[in-house]
Amino acid sequence: MRSILAIVFSMLILSCSKSWKEEPYEVIWIDGNDSLAYSVGNGAYIGRVDFPERIASNDSFISVYACEEETCTYYYIDKLNDHKYADHDEFVYGPFFKYEFVSLKGKLGLPDV
């Protein structure tokens, strides 16, 4: 009976966690919060966008809808120019309000989130 409860409990915990991965990007858990991060290898990451709710990707960009407390905004990452030595603000753009993001989406070909 305990093993069944342990399995059910584990499944519930895993189903509640956000998960998204596209090498070298991955949603990871840092200090109790989710963060979209860039893997630099050996288990080390550089944060890109905190509190991601929805993520979409194409060949050139990653679009992120992120919510911290009651404020939700949009970001995009230029994947073609991002690299493991880049700082957060070099290739991460935002935050944008929805109307700004919709305009950029049309101009740049950002994926829809």
pLDDT of residue 2: 54
Q: Average pLDDT over the chain, rounded to whole?
A: 87
* Burial annotation 17-56 (CB, 10 A radius, 16+ → b, else e): eeebeeebbbbbeeeeebbbbbbeeeeebbebbbbbeebe
Tell me what pLDDT residue 1 has.
58
**Structural domains of the chain, count:** 1
Q: Is residue 36 part of a domain?
A: yes
Q: At residue 46, does pLDDT exceed 70?
A: yes
Q: How far is CA 102 from CA 35, 74, 94, 96, in A?
A: 23, 10, 13, 9
Could you tell me if 19 and 36 are in contact, meaning their C-beta atoms sit under 8 angstroms apart? no
Residue 38 lies in a domain: yes
Per-residue pLDDT tens over the stretch 51-83: 999 999 999 999 999 999 999 999 999 999 999
The whole domain housing 54 covers 20-108
Residue 6 lies in a domain: no
